[in-house]
Structure 1
């Protein structure tokens, strides 16, 4: 074959066999050259152009098996960096190969090649888009049932798109603006393909969880307090003057949660008017993602505030969220760890959600106390009841949630004699004095706050039990000379203070901070007990730890 100029290449090399004078040309079996990278380099340097032209013609004229096409795509993918505009004829020939009717592995390989190609060389985008659009015509009669595409054809395109979104999601150590842009764009897809909303949200939350668990609150605060925080490149500067975080991963998380919040607001409001139906539909999708991704993740710090945010739009949504969590708590066939986490969400949500009325708090205090009393009654009637932390870990977590709520919200619960009667109806003395001894296994700071409140208002007297427990926490020598130590509930409160700077602007108006307000709490003999306003100190409800020697925090 003679050397063909680049000007005539498009007209001749890519011309289909039937359009030339050799109408009877038969398709040949494909055989890939041993080293196409060398062929590309020789063509670019002008050393040998004939091999390149033969390769293009071979791809155009050959019949491909799935294995042939897989091999070709693999070789081409390995040479992606070379496939610029100079090698457009090879790219065009490969893009024109029919692939959509082939096996799943071929389709996936083709998709990966195209993704890499257009990411590296934008000059090929028009060609790729044109060919993808032409696939809209690539159906026969058997692909259509009742004037609609078959489920197989529809599902195939969805799977390709979801795989592409998942495989191309930026790694969490990449620059924050790239991750933010990618999240924004994949959420845009939902506007055109709403059926994929759950899939896309699940991919997004799986990636955001990585950011969240790699940026603990303590690390973020330490970075923010330091004077030598990380400086970012100018290309990461935002057009507005909103503060940036010094912790690099927290900065990316803040940006991406902000994108999520805006997406949620846009989905739930039309022209600034709340659309309850659309809000409920989005909430149901987010609830599935929450159950699959967020709830099983131990010690995530901020991503769960997405649920907090959407619940603030409508109290019915918030009520459903609490019902969902309570159902998990009460189902004995669910893992104890998940049940403990769920009750932690309930207590933290009721403590922190400023948009919920007092009625929700009282309702769930009744639910918690009823469950606790039923459990105590069941254990009292059992001959095999033992003080075993692992056996009763869910019970201790539910007790701790109740103690936490009473101590945290005591101002709202005890500002009138009527409300005092409500707390008395919970029969707190029976709980704290039960043989399961919940005060022994709860977090010491919660126990101390709860004991002070119940003592001041004569709801229960816990200090005798606490002192007795303290004496019994001396280490015991077990078999082999090993110390036997006590355990306490390892339960975190997911809606503890929110420390991301940008998105805190949306959370703070909805959020209830802890304020200690009892004056001279140890004066239980005082005839007049009153609340004082105090000052807005740091939210430190769980920070006033009381040392408890020889304890071990376990799940």
Structure 2
């Protein structure tokens, strides 16, 4: 019969009722394990019985369990998966979350000893530890109170310390750990607290001692899960920009909605309503919480000097998955925030990589179009990018489009030249946001004036007739005010072409009309993005009349005041129902909204396209 000694307060075993010393107990357990191979299971079954989970253990039972686990740690060399399956099963059912620290430490000692004793147990031990990333379902709701937080810290600190110790003892263990962590990730339908706490552990692994090894696998897996959640969010929860009802909302409703969120007072009505519509959506709330975790991890990486290293892992993942996922709405802001934390490093690199992807003929057209859409949106919305960098990339885009025109005649087929038109639209979109600030810098203004833009717009491929009319009209309006072209009045826009050629550029789900860094509608995540983000309502345009009240931009291209943007009463919302045509470019300067579209567009059964097209399915 197995007799287990009780531990005293100092943890040393004492002899009781003819029991064993620690050394004798280990030897005895070894013999018990060996007896099983000979068919004698009496003592073995009694031993296994000590390990079966029980609730409300008294102090003596706790002491027996601790001693048993520690003795087994010394006998792991005799444990055979073929003969001791019931023992391993009993251990696997034990959860650190259900015990005090003494049992926790003894169980982890056994797991570490097993991992170090034989390579065949590595995966089993790692899986045993990873399953503790998330508490049993009946404990999840208790993690918000003081006791729950204390229990969480005690368990998870020990789990990560054990993973580190196993990695030290078995150098290949981190590589075996990666697939286990990924395979055990909660799916998109899991409870928010479950997936959040698992993400916390993944980020802790990535930022820990073995992060250099596991990060290359864990970070892309995290991005993939974010994207899976992202595409689960249907567009039916987001109001379309061309829905007339958005603009008919009663003023008191807008005020009430804004009062509920202090961050919403300066938001356009459509963005405010879209955010309201997303409230209560469990997938949205999960994604919001997870993106916040990702942003906080990036801040931690910046503080520890690891941001560049982490960014270099995230970037290929972004290129492979997020870039071509046309339904991605919010995941891309992880990259945006990384760039905001390191503008001169990550920020510049991201822009140059996107520009190179667009320029490369080796990439498929859909990838090139997506890359330039991201590039245009990024350069327009990133407050932290220098005017000089923006001008340099505009120059490269203009050169590419101009070179394309040289070898084309009059084949006005939007589908045959999608990459070219997406490049043209990117140029115009960036200029809508940046033209004023660039023209204010003499050397950058000279560079813009020397670009062959006018030749591109007047080419027989007629990009002005194919690209998104809203962007075309605003671009031409600003170009005329800035005297960017010699004869901007000569550009004529036929509103019939919006229905024919422009739609042929991609149709209802056109990726080429996708501006992925439009305002983030996630409440918690947006608060991190906001300080680095350019809103259209704060963009200075070339036709603004209040330039004298705005800070100047230095000749070096760096912004002296609050970047290129100010808030004005006449442009506090981008969603006014203002409609003008290119033929009306000499209109009243008060008509300075960006939501501009050709006249008579309603006769085609559509409301005006907006400058923030990616918030509606049509503009994708």
Q: If the length of structure 1 is used for normalisation, what is the TM-score? A: 0.66
Query: Cα gap change, 1:181/1:109 in structure 2, threshold over 3 Å: closer, same or farther?
Result: closer
More strand by share: 1
Contact 2:365 2:419 in 1 (8 A): yes
Matched, 1:499 2:521: yes
Which residue pairs with 1:406 in the alignment?
431
Query: Cα gap change, 1:23/1:505 in structure 2, threshold over 3 Å: closer, same or farther?
Result: closer
Give the 5 Å matches for 1:91-170.
98=114, 107-113=122-128, 115-116=130-131, 119-120=135-136, 153-154=170-171, 156-170=172-186
Which residue pairs with 2:511 in the alignment?
490
Secondary structure of 2:208's partner? helix
Matched, 1:207 2:217: no
Aligned-pair CA distance for 1:188: 2.5
Which residue pairs with 1:191 in the alignment?
208
Aligned-pair CA distance for 1:250: 2.6
Contact 1:32 1:72 in 2 (8 A): no
Q: Structure 1 residue aligned with 2:373, among 329, 344, 349?
A: 344
Q: Deviations over 1:59-114 (max 9, x none)?
A: x8997766667x65896699779x988xx9xx99996994656666x643454355
Residues of 1 paired with 2:594 and 2:453: CA distance?
21
Contact 1:176 1:252 in 2 (8 A): yes
Which residue pairs with 1:274 in the alignment?
none
Contact 2:92 2:128 in 1 (8 A): no
RMSD, matched Cα: 5.6
Aligned-pair CA distance for 1:332: 1.2
Aligned-pair CA distance for 1:497: 0.8
Aligned-pair CA distance for 1:225: 8.3
Query: Cα gap change, 1:168/1:198 in structure 2, threshold over 3 Å: closer, same or farther?
Result: same
Aligned-pair CA distance for 1:343: 1.0
Residues of 2 paired with 1:364 and 1:22: CA distance?
71
Residues of 1 paired with 2:337 and 2:469: CA distance?
31
Query: Cα gap change, 1:209/1:131 in structure 2, threshold over 3 Å: closer, same or farther?
Result: closer
Larger CA deviation: 243-252 vs 322-331: 243-252
Residues of 2 paired with 1:64 and 1:345: CA distance?
56
Contact 2:30 2:78 in 1 (8 A): no
Residues of 2 paired with 1:61 and 1:250: CA distance?
47
Which residue pairs with 1:287 in the alignment?
315
Residues of 1 paired with 2:502 and 2:419: CA distance?
25
Query: Cα gap change, 1:339/1:3 in structure 2, threshold over 3 Å: closer, same or farther?
Result: same
Contact 1:77 1:116 in 2 (8 A): no
Query: Cα gap change, 1:113/1:470 in structure 2, threshold over 3 Å: closer, same or farther?
Result: closer
More helix by share: 2
Aligned-pair CA distance for 1:442: 1.9
Secondary structure of 2:494's partner? helix
Contact 2:478 2:543 in 1 (8 A): no
Which residue pairs with 1:513 in the alignment?
535
Aligned-pair CA distance for 1:429: 2.8
Q: Deviations over 1:183-205 (max 9, x none)?
A: 33332232322313333322322
Q: Structure 1 residue aligned with 2:329, among 298, 301, 309?
A: 301
Query: Cα gap change, 1:519/1:129 in structure 2, threshold over 3 Å: closer, same or farther?
Result: closer
Contact 1:96 1:131 in 2 (8 A): no
Residues of 2 paired with 1:179 and 1:210: CA distance?
13
Q: Deviations over 1:312-334 (max 9, x none)?
A: 23432222221111111111112
Which residue pairs with 1:146 in the alignment?
none
How many residues are treated as equivalent by the alignment? 482
Aligned-pair CA distance for 1:467: 5.0
Contact 2:288 2:523 in 1 (8 A): yes
Secondary structure of 2:515's partner? coil
Contact 1:162 1:199 in 2 (8 A): yes
Which residue pairs with 2:460 in the alignment?
435
Secondary structure of 2:353's partner? helix
Aligned-pair CA distance for 1:396: 1.4
Aligned-pair CA distance for 1:252: 2.8
Query: Cα gap change, 1:510/1:61 in structure 2, threshold over 3 Å: closer, same or farther?
Result: closer
Residues of 2 paired with 1:93 and 1:420: CA distance?
69
Q: Structure 1 residue aligned with 2:408, among 344, 364, 379?
A: 379
Matched, 1:329 2:337: no
Query: Cα gap change, 1:62/1:187 in structure 2, threshold over 3 Å: closer, same or farther?
Result: closer
Aligned-pair CA distance for 1:392: 2.4
Query: Cα gap change, 1:16/1:343 in structure 2, threshold over 3 Å: closer, same or farther?
Result: farther
Larger CA deviation: 257-266 vs 400-409: 257-266
Aligned-pair CA distance for 1:30: 8.0
Residues of 2 paired with 1:327 and 1:248: CA distance?
38
Residues of 2 paired with 1:130 and 1:473: CA distance?
58
Query: Cα gap change, 1:178/1:518 in structure 2, threshold over 3 Å: closer, same or farther?
Result: same
Q: Deviations over 1:282-339 (max 9, x none)?
A: 3323323333443233232223222222322343222222111111111111222222
Contact 2:466 2:501 in 1 (8 A): no
Q: Which runs of 5+ in 2 are unaligned?
A: 7-15, 55-68, 140-150, 241-252, 258-275, 546-565, 576-592, 607-616
Matched, 1:449 2:474: yes
Aligned-pair CA distance for 1:369: 0.5
Q: Structure 1 residue aligned with 2:396, among 360, 364, 367?
A: 367
Secondary structure of 2:527's partner? helix
Q: If the length of structure 2 is used for normalisation, what is the TM-score? A: 0.60
Query: Cα gap change, 1:358/1:321 in structure 2, threshold over 3 Å: closer, same or farther?
Result: same
Residues of 2 paired with 1:296 and 1:30: CA distance?
61
Secondary structure of 2:356's partner? helix
Query: Cα gap change, 1:15/1:366 in structure 2, threshold over 3 Å: closer, same or farther?
Result: same
Which residue pairs with 1:265 in the alignment?
299
Residues of 2 paired with 1:334 and 1:9: CA distance?
78
Q: Deviations over 1:439-474 (max 9, x none)?
A: 343223222323433455473357535357469669
